[in-house]
């Protein structure tokens, strides 16, 4: 198992190219199942999650290949309708194959994802959506067994604006008979990106980016070629790296217009942020000002940036409060950050971070994608050596992170234990 050794403190300087967004790419990969043809995705990041989704598709009989950011997927035929536990347990988004398999073939068997390190993470909204479109669902030995004749468009009202349920329902509705109206839909940019790809494949979709999405189902869907949007969370993480190290970093190939809530907090911390349509320069202050953060659904502050901003606030000049509204238990990074000497108290879903003058390098353990990037941020300002164990979590969501950080001036090396 690989680890990172980081020696701090360091100051990051230079520019970094932001990769395609993991959370936009995974729905697009699942969407190819609807087409029965050869699809191409551009700007695809080579991540552990990309490879896991390729394996999920391969298990279904759909071959794919990834070279230089171009992912070719041949969804002409499907030979299995089952996404097995071994893959779903390593990546919950494997459940995205449920909607398209059901819509195109009338059957799907997908392992239940189960809970994760930060809570139960139910999928009831996905299942409610499929049933409202006419599917019969049975839970059988830990698997979702779904059957349907042709799905029928319907009104689906989500209890909360779940990104995953919105994706699954949009995919299923695209091949359903008639119109689906999805109420209380997620408004994340990744949803609009999926809508854009489906539109390019001939599906009529309106309202993406708002809480009500209309999808006019079709009898068949054209194969498509589509580019993955830049990753706003990877961009936010490098912006936080510039902030915490008092550095000067320019993010290239990013979408500042999709990052307003993050930019607001960077500026409130004292960073100087300059944007163009597709770049963002972040200059960190001498002293980081404390800020209060409430996570929420887009366009609120993303839960996927909570851990990274907590790392930044560990060395702020005063106390900050972070309230996690999306995943109340998403705090596995707190005990690890304390190992650097951070002062954090946790009461339910509220964390109070009292800034300290300096952090000290320590052995720490990555627990999920974003928690692990928070540990890298802390390690870069901590004095001395940090060893981050279990970095496979980082590799799920950050393309080539050690080379990108090293090019910006971080002292980071990969070691194999
Ligand atoms: N929820 C339910 N029932 C459901 C679905 C969701 O109760 O059927 C709840 C969840 O427990 C949570 C809230 O609704 O409290 C929102 O969950 P959502 O379904 O939106 O999350 P997700 O689709 O499972 C995606 C991202 C996550 C990101 C969340 C929130 C992907 C592949 N994953 O997850 O990304 O944190 O939206 O924005 O898009 C990451 O990239 O590190 C990551 C965890």
Judge if the beta carbon of residue 307 lies within 6 A of ligand 1. Answer: no
> CA 155, 159, 160: angle at the middle one, nearest 5?
115
* The overall pTM is greater than 0.95: yes
Which atom number of ligand 1 is nearest to the Cα of residue 302?
Answer: 38
Cα 162 to ligand 1 centre (Å): 6
Dist. CA 227–CA 20, nearest whole Å? 8
For residue 374, give every residue at least 6 positions away whose Cβ sits within 8 Å of its Cβ, in sequence order, or none. Answer: 307, 308, 310, 311, 333, 337
Atom of ligand 1 nearest to the CA of 93: 32
**Burial of 336: CB neighbours in 10 Å, binned 0-12, 13-18, 19+:** buried
* Whether residue 93 has its Cβ less than 6 Å from ligand 1: yes
Encode the chain (417 residues) as per-residue pLDDT tens digits: 899 999 999 999 999 999 999 999 999 999 999 999 999 999 999 999 999 999 999 999 999 999 999 999 999 999 999 999 999 999 999 999 999 999 999 999 999 987 677 777 899 999 999 999 999 999 999 999 999 999 999 999 999 999 999 999 999 999 999 999 999 999 999 999 999 999 999 999 999 999 999 999 999 999 999 999 999 999 999 999 999 999 999 999 999 999 999 999 999 999 999 999 999 999 999 999 999 999 999 999 999 999 999 999 999 999 999 999 999 999 999 999 999 999 999 999 999 999 999 999 999 999 999 999 999 999 999 999 999 999 999 999 999 999 999 999 999 999 998
Order of all β-strands in the sheet with 363-365: 363-365, 384-389, 2-8, 411-416
- Tokens representing 219 are 């009898």
**Catalytic site residue 116?**
yes
Residue 123 near ligand 1, beta carbon < 6 Å: yes
**Which of 163, 305, 368, 393 is the best mutation target for the ligand 1 pocket, counting ligand atoms within 8 Å of the beta carbon and taking the most?**
163
CA of 178 to the centre of ligand 1 (A): 28
From the CB of 163, is ligand 1 less than 6 Å away?
A: yes
Taking CA atoms only, the protein residue closest to ligand 1 atom 18 is 162
C-beta separation of 137 from 146 below 8 A: yes
| The domain over range 2-19+230-416 is classified in CATH as 3.30.1360.120 | no
Is the CB of 270 inside a 6 Å radius of any atom of ligand 1? no
Please list the residue range(s) of the chain that carry CATH number 3.65.10.10: 2-19+230-416, 22-227
Q: Is 35 helix (H, G, I), strand (E, B) or coil?
A: coil
* Ligand 1 centroid distance, CA of 163 (Å): 6
Fold of 22-227: UDP-n-acetylglucosamine1-carboxyvinyl-transferase; Chain (3.65.10)
**Residue of the nearest CA to atom 5 in ligand 1?**
123
CB of 305 within 6 A of ligand 1: the answer is no
The encoded tokens of residue 290 equal 């404390």
């Amino acid at each position: 198992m690989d680890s990172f050794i980081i020696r701090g403190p360091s100051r990051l300087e230079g520019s970094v190219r932001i990769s395609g967004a993991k959370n936009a790419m995974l729905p697009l990969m699942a969407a190819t199942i609807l087409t029965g043809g050869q699809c191409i995705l551009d700007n695809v990041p080579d991540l552990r999650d990309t490879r896991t989704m390729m394996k999920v598709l391969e298990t279904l009989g759909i071959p794919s290949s990834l070279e230089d950011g171009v992912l070719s997927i041949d969804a002409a035929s499907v030979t299995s309708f089952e996404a097995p536990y071994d893959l779903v347990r390593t990546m919950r988004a494997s459940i995205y194959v449920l909607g398209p398999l059901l819509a195109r073939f009338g059957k799907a068997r997908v392992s239940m994802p189960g809970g994760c390190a930060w809570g139960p993470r139910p999928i009831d909204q996905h299942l409610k959506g499929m049933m409202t479109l006419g599917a019969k669902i049975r839970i059988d030995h830990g698997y979702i067994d779904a059957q349907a004749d042709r799905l029928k468009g319907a009104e689906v009202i989500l209890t909360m604006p779940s990104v995953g349920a919105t994706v699954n329902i949009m995919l299923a509705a695209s091949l359903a008979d008639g119109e689906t109206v999805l109420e209380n839909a997620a408004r994340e940019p990744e949803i609009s990106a999926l809508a854009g790809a489906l539109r390019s494949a001939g599906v009529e979709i309106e309202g993406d980016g708002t809480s009500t999405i209309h999808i006019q189902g079709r009898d068949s869907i054209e194969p498509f070629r589509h580019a993955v949007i830049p990753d706003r969370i990877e961009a936010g993480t490098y912006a936080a790296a510039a902030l915490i190290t008092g550095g000067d970093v320019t993010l290239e190939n990013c979408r500042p217009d999709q990052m307003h809530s993050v930019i607001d907090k960077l500026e409130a911390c004292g960073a100087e942020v300059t944007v163009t349509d597709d770049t963002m320069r972040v200059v960190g202050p001498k002293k980081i000002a404390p800020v209060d953060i409430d996570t929420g659904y887009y366009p609120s502050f993303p839960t996927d940036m909570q851990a990274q901003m907590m790392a930044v606030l560990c060395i702020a000049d005063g106390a900050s409060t972070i309230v996690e509204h999306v995943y109340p238990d998403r705090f596995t990074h707190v005990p690890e950050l304390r190992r650097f000497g951070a002062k954090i108290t946790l009461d339910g879903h509220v964390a109070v971070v009292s800034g300290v003058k300096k952090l000290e390098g320590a052995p720490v353990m990555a627990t999920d994608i974003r928690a692990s990037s928070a540990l890298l941020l802390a390690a870069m300002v901590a004095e001395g050596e940090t060893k981050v164990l279990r970095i496979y979590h980082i590799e799920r969501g950050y393309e080539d992170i050690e080379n990108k950080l090293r090019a910006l001036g971080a002292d980071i090396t990969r070691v194999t234990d």
